Structure 1
Amino acid sequence: MTPLTVLPIMEAAEIASRLGWKRSSFLRKRVQLEADGFPTMLPGRFGRWDRAAIDRWFRHHDEIKRLAAANLNQPLRIAFDRARLTELFAQGASA
């Protein structure tokens, strides 16, 4: 029998706080965030996410904001798409 693995979790209130939002605002906007690459909720655990996945998203999101600020003529969506494609390409190359 293998031991159960316990994932460090993050709840909606903590994520909302990191975003500077209220919990209700985060939950309302969650679907749109997920459409843009935000991690999905853990199965069977309403209002809980994998902490490592959320931390990766915040690091990635901060990098996108930095890139967009470095080139104000470039729309944020293009910077996001470029960073996401680069990340996916790197994952494919390491597989």
Structure 2
Amino acid sequence: MSEDGFNGATPEQWTLYLNQFSKLGEFQSIGKAELQNWKTLSPIDSPSVTYAIYQVPVTFSTGLAHVQLALQSSEDKVEINSIKFLSDILMQ
């Protein structure tokens, strides 16, 4: 995860996120990542930056969920900008 992404949450928020995530139960399997969207920006006097969003099906003991990864690539470096867990259980 990028430093900005990691530091965007307080330790208390990270604890809350991990407690919520535990509601999904035990990890069982992961499916193939599917590209949802992408774009490349080429600013003048700066390196090009490519942004991509992937969705990955993940099975837990409570059922299917999806992980949405937002990635950023520039100058041979890939960083995770955000991670979203998409599950009905997390909405409860």
TM-score category by the smaller chain? Answer: under 0.3
The structure with the largest helix share of the pair is 1
The structure with the largest strand share of the pair is 2
- TM superposition score normalised by structure 1: 0.26
Q: Which has the higher contact order (CA 8 A, sep 6+)?
A: 2
